[in-house]
Structure 1
Amino acid sequence: MKLNLGLPLIGLALLMACKNKGTETSERTVFLDKAGMDTTVNPGDNFFEYANGKWMKNTVIPDDQSGWGSFYTLYEDNLKKLKGIIEDAEKSNSAKGSIQQKVGDYYASGMDTTTIEKLGAEPLKPVLAKIDAAKNYQELVSLLAELAKTDEAGLLGLNVGADEKNSVKNIASFYQSGLSLPEKDYYFKTDSASKAARAGFVTYASTLFKLTGVDTATATKNANAILALETEIAKSHRSPQELRDPQKNYNKMSLAQLSQLAPNLNVPALFNAMKIKTDSVNVGQPDYFKTLSALLASQPLDVWKTKFKYNYMSRNAGLLSKAFVDASFNFNKIFNGQKKQSERWKRLVSGIDANLGDLLGQLYVEKYFTPEAKQRMDELVNNLQKVFATRIDKLDWMSAETKAKATEKLNIFLKKIGYTTKWKNFDDVTINKGDYLGNARSARTHSYNEMINKVGKPVDKTEWGMTPPTVNAYYNPTFNEIVFPAGILQFPFFDANADDAINYGAIGAVIGHEMTHGFDDQGRQYDAVGNMKDWWTKADADKFKVKADKVAAMYSGFTLLDNQHVNGNLTLGENLADIGGLAIAYDAFKLTEQGKEATKKIDGFTPDQRFFLSFAQVWRIKDRDENMRVRIKVDPHSPEMFRVNGPVYSMEAFYKAFNIPKTAKMYIAPENRLGVW
């Protein structure tokens, strides 16, 4: 479980906008967008609109995007920079097996549309033939093991990581899978959006079958059969909110117990084929595996074969001819609202980051990440850590006993900034210019083997869960670590030339956010060394829950679109992190020279006003309705307006900074303000 910042666009980063190696970018001198503000809005009525209103009104989302805003523009600009790195690698004529050869030839294979179009569905046929040849579900289960090695099974969610109750040792964890729609309710609800999603799925699945030579009637029959099967599978799934309970998701069992739970999976043979050598595993959602086992025996073999074929085709649709790519795009736009596909080279750059992350990452940081940026981040992180410790010490609702343990956990945070100190080895990955699908499958096989080889072995805490160019950050409770990839260390989050108000309001709030995750409703269930363990007194835990429930209730009252409510329980952890993170960042800012100044203005704003405006403009995002509807159902992060307004209206410093009267629409009386940490 990793608790990330939750950027609406998780991908590659823009380069630092100041003094980067290998760039001639001029230094930025203006850090707030005054033109994008709507100063006709009272900041006490809607601070997000005050800070971003004109920008929100005037911005048109590009046709190839599901939303637009600072993160999206950073992502787009960075893709161009990364494209340059990759094209240089492609032209380098480097030795076979080198970083440049693998990165460059992977890109070349994906850009060779002539070969890809000529091949059509041919690359799929060997595996489709294997599925056809299965004589019973037992043989399909054997094939499931084979497809898992290339991440094409679609039925066995699998991850290997620290055992949550023995965090020094890795364990294989299995989790619910098998669905094509975003979450279980899409299979049962009768609203127009859910019906459209199911109809879109049938169209998509039938198109994939037709592209492999199946007649229209049979293709439609197959698609409807898969939808019916997935509906049965969905009955066993936990909801996104339920999946936030780490205790319920920890169900360690022996192989004999798993065999008893899911007898038709033939666990000993399955694990042998998957190269999993262990005497116990964690089964996150046992009901799913019990149901999967029963359905394997009760559903017709031909239905399962169509499901296997669909999973395989859908997983690879983006790597095939234009007809497959278009089918995949048309299905996914139901949920993201994009009107047209992004350019092919952009998709390829993203794919290389996903499949060969540490190879591309090495080239990225060598050219663009400065030691100065890391040094400044080290200072910021350490400052916020000290402030958080002080805040814990001053809590009036927590006992000295629990405070001591909370402080211990905070003080031993593992802090990772920029990029890994131990690059992964990709020697077993073979990249050929003429085999785009084969290259992707080779990279997936590498990832699988790397993962499986960790089972039962000691945890390596030098590992990173994100690639260096990623625009995001995360907290990992089993490592008790906070992680900030190089990609996020750039404007609007961070700029070495910016005043402290800007940096503390932006990257400072991000740092505080990730620190607070160690103490949110999920993170607080893990101790200082990363074990899921109750280290709280009962009285303190009860007081925490009362405060957390108030946060959940307030956010559940927020609405958007056609009166769609935010799910305050689903978003609770992120809301706690947003509120706590901003408060911690503000306290740290007040220790700086600028923070001690009350009236010295820049661009017409006091230091405190700049701090809050910097925070608000970081979250300047405009989503398509389709994308937002899915986010409300499945995303543990609140929509951006509430990520801004929820925290600021809980802080007395905000009210003072903007002279907010008690008559303001969003004024919260001091006794009702949200705050845990």
Structure 2
Amino acid sequence: MRNNALEGLRVPLSDGRSGRQRKRMKRIAITVGVVVLISAAIFFVKKLKSFQQQYDNPATEAGESRESQEAAKIAARHFPHEVLKAMDLSADPCQDFYSYACGTFQEITQVEADQNEWARAWSGVSARNNELLREVVETDQGLAGDFYRSCMNMTRINELGSTPIEPYKKALDSLRSCKEHSHVPFARFHPTPCGLAALQELLVQWHMSDIKVFFDWSVEVNPHDPSKYAVNLMQDGITLPDPKWYYSGSTEANSKLKGLEEVMKKVFMLAGETKQEAEEDAKATLSFETELAKLFKDATQERTSTQGEYSLQSLDALCPSLALPKVLSAMAGPYKTELSNAKVLIRNPDYFRGIQELLPKTPASHIRAYMLFRVAFILGADLSEEFLAVGQELQQVVVGQQTRVPRWYKCYKSVNNALPDYVGKIFVQRYFSMDILSQAQDMLSRIRDVFQEEILQVPWMEDKTKSLATYKLADMFFSIGFPPTWSDYRGLSLSGDFVQDGDRLYKWYIRHAFARLSRPVQRNRWGTTSPAMVDAFYSYDKNGIFVPAGILQKPFFSTTYRAARNFGAIGTILGHEMTHGFDDQGRKFNPEGRMKQWWSDADKDAFEQRASCVVELYNSMKLDGKRVNGELTLGENIADIGGVKLAYRAMERELREKEGQAAPSRTDRQLFFVSQGQNWCTKARKQAEELQLLTDPHAPDRWRVNGPLSQTPEFAEAFQCSPGSPMNPRRRCEVW
């Protein structure tokens, strides 16, 4: 995450549960879990015994190098048990380090029915944090507890059925009145109740309830003037996560479309339509979403496109049919004046121009069907069992998730998303300490010191640019654990109705989002990021790193770990985030966070030449026979490679200064790299992995290990990998 965008509270296509709450499962589930754990323990013990036997018989097994055996001995004798039990010591670290660091985890881990994946570190810490806070939220007597209990009251929610949708259906009557003219272009009805004026009023109502139609919006820092906030307008309003699925014509894409159409039919019927009406409206909605999808930039284009600046008034020239100035002004309420003076950011102006061409030739009934489906499907995530079951059907089509997450998990996540500071403050008070903050601060400072030296030593950058780059790095701030000020929820009251309260909370966020337009930018503002989040992120336009308390937990970090383990785990993540300030996008922002050309042309060309090496490297990588997109993942790959290098050298410095070691021991060197590798031990569904290849700017987890470590000479030294082996290539890519 790299901005403070206003986040929606309703997420119909939510990710599968990343954590697994075991102690409250039904008895049969517990029994199955015990069997799995026993099997895993037996498997691990057998593995360990086989290596102990190898020590007694030093003969090298076929296909296993002496260096590989030596690494296995070091790990078995000196690594912590919780690290060792995820490893496969029979794998050759110089051939496939991911299998070496994560092999046993891969063999014994099962992705359960309500999960898309299970990541050893990320999912494990998230599950533990969720469980700790679940008990807090369940007993809370304030806003969090009230919202949680209203969500858990499925008896009341099932009684309501589709009732919460009725006000939206009634509002759509202004479009339904044109149904008898369903094949007449929409523009024909400008003077009538179903004309564009009615659509504009509906847009306000839908967006005020977090129902994304045609576009999405946020209030964020203006990269062209980072002292001010701006309104950001984004392409949005389609259901499937990859726009290419709508029109590529591939077998896989057509399967997704067929599944989506079936879900659409069921949603329309749940909203009160007859079977025939539902079938007609499903086809119309799918057709309209397909036309919208054709206007989208793909994930690679979105990542690299620059946001253009517009005045509010100029939006009418871009897409007059949506009347964006009127819609946004109605949403801004008392902050209309501030909005009129603010800039509007748009990354894909052709999308809005395309909508302007699309609307006049779209039947009014198709617009009505699209608007009804969007509200029924998105709001349906908070409605009865019937709606939830249909939502799960699409989840299975998209990522293969077989069952819904437990109700407590959905309700807890709803609370955490809606009231991040309320929940996060409790987490910090109970599970965070100043010792943790101090050590994380010290680690970041050491990594920055190393990075300063690296910048000054790079041979391809001119001295003037080096001076500005080191200034930018020196001015980079670290916000660790929790925000400097907590959000004030005073004045918020809840009714006990889950849907109404979700709507009330979102309107509270809308008001506060537009209110930011009246204030100067607060660089260290956390936005809707919860301190309990298991993540860390860098902000381009604020030039700062945010490290929630949620990630400063085992196995990422502990005040009792050896330096090698801390620097290999959380250190490489912090180095990654710091490198983002100088990746292919971060380098475009000057020390003040302003997007401008501050490098010389020669420096820019030299950087791009080195970055192209990284693109080619990751383009050569595959997952189940499908290639990684080196362009899409470039920024994250540069950060991964840089993060490992910076963290390793920061570890060397700490061991030298605190423990008097001239160089890390071989055990520490190997523990560092294994700790980095185990950050990314993951078992995922094939469909989820395929979606990641299409839309995620991060490389698959296997290549987040083998990729950067193969580009790190210190890794090859630590494991004595032969030149030319997969993990010690003769040609390496180096940006930083």
Same fold (TM over 0.5): yes
Confirm or deny: 8 A CA contact 1:422 1:462 kept in the other structure.
no
**Partner amino acid for 1:577?**
A
Shift of 1:32: 4.8
The 5 A counterparts of 1:57-68 are: 57-68=107-118
Instruction: Encode CA deviations 1:452-496: one digit per residue, 9 max, x unaligned.
Output: 122253112231042111011111111001110011101121011
Residues 589, 304 of structure 1: alpha-carbon distance in 2 compared, 3 angstrom cutoff: same
**Partner amino acid for 1:30?**
P
Residues 145, 49 of structure 1: alpha-carbon distance in 2 compared, 3 angstrom cutoff: same
Matched with 2:267 is 208
Asked which structure has the greater CA Rg, the reply is 2
The percent of aligned pairs where both chains have the same amino acid is 30
Matched with 2:87 is 37
Confirm or deny: 8 A CA contact 2:111 2:118 kept in the other structure.
yes
Matched with 1:87 is 138
Secondary structure, aligned partner of 1:592: helix
Residues 10, 339 of structure 1: alpha-carbon distance in 2 compared, 3 angstrom cutoff: closer
Matched with 1:547 is 610
Confirm or deny: 8 A CA contact 1:137 1:296 kept in the other structure.
no
Scaled by the length of structure 2, what TM-score is found? 0.84
Secondary structure, aligned partner of 1:445: helix
Match of 1:479 among 535, 542, 545: 542
Aligned pair 1:356/2:419, yes or no? Answer: yes
Match of 1:124 among 157, 165, 170: 165
Matched with 1:649 is 710
Secondary structure, aligned partner of 2:299: coil
**Partner amino acid for 1:592?**
E
Aligned pair 1:102/2:143, yes or no? Answer: yes
Instruction: Encode CA deviations 1:111-156: one digit per residue, 9 max, x unaligned.
Output: 1111111111011111221112342232011110122122114222
Matched with 2:677 is 616
Aligned pair 1:287/2:350, yes or no? Answer: yes
Residues 589, 115 of structure 1: alpha-carbon distance in 2 compared, 3 angstrom cutoff: same
Confirm or deny: 8 A CA contact 2:447 2:650 kept in the other structure.
yes
Shift of 1:256: 3.7
Aligned pair 1:196/2:259, yes or no? Answer: no
| C-alpha distance in structure 2 between counterparts of 1:85 and 1:366, whole Å | 12
Instruction: Encode CA deviations 1:502-550: one digit per residue, 9 max, x unaligned.
Output: 0000111011000000000000000011000111111111010000000
The 5 A counterparts of 1:9-408 are: 30=80, 32-70=82-120, 71-89=122-140, 100-134=141-175, 135-245=194-304, 248-275=305-332, 276=336, 277-279=339-341, 280-408=343-471
Confirm or deny: 8 A CA contact 1:566 1:632 kept in the other structure.
yes
Shift of 1:57: 2.0
Matched with 2:33 is none
Shift of 1:10: 11
**Partner amino acid for 1:477?**
Y
Confirm or deny: 8 A CA contact 2:18 2:116 kept in the other structure.
no
Scaled by the length of structure 1, what TM-score is found? 0.91
Match of 2:644 among 574, 579, 582: 582
Instruction: Encode CA deviations 1:270-315: one digit per residue, 9 max, x unaligned.
Output: 2332224224422221111112223232211111111111111122
Secondary structure, aligned partner of 1:159: strand
Confirm or deny: 8 A CA contact 1:176 1:288 kept in the other structure.
yes
Matched with 1:518 is 581
Secondary structure, aligned partner of 2:314: helix
Confirm or deny: 8 A CA contact 1:148 1:156 kept in the other structure.
no
**Partner amino acid for 1:475?**
Y
Secondary structure, aligned partner of 1:41: coil
Residues 480, 515 of structure 1: alpha-carbon distance in 2 compared, 3 angstrom cutoff: same
Secondary structure, aligned partner of 1:581: helix
The 5 A counterparts of 1:418-429 are: 418-429=481-492
Residues 191, 244 of structure 1: alpha-carbon distance in 2 compared, 3 angstrom cutoff: same
**Cα RMSD between the aligned structures?**
2.1
Shift of 1:264: 1.2
**More deviation, 389-398/657-666:** 657-666
| C-alpha distance in structure 1 between counterparts of 2:211 and 2:664, whole Å | 59
Moved over 6 A (4+): 8-14, 598-601
| C-alpha distance in structure 1 between counterparts of 2:220 and 2:583, whole Å | 21
Confirm or deny: 8 A CA contact 1:31 1:502 kept in the other structure.
no
Residues 409, 569 of structure 1: alpha-carbon distance in 2 compared, 3 angstrom cutoff: same
Secondary structure, aligned partner of 2:370: helix
Shift of 1:252: 1.0
Secondary structure, aligned partner of 2:344: strand
Secondary structure, aligned partner of 2:292: helix
Match of 1:665 among 726, 730, 733: 726
Unaligned runs of 5+ in 1: 15-28, 90-99
Aligned pair 1:469/2:519, yes or no? Answer: no
Question: Where is the helix percentage greater, Structure 1 or Structure 2?
Answer: 2
Matched with 2:67 is none
**More deviation, 605-614/522-531:** 605-614
Matched with 1:26 is none
Confirm or deny: 8 A CA contact 1:556 1:567 kept in the other structure.
yes
**Partner amino acid for 1:231?**
T
Aligned pair 1:639/2:696, yes or no? Answer: no
| C-alpha distance in structure 1 between counterparts of 2:273 and 2:641, whole Å | 54
Confirm or deny: 8 A CA contact 1:146 1:273 kept in the other structure.
no
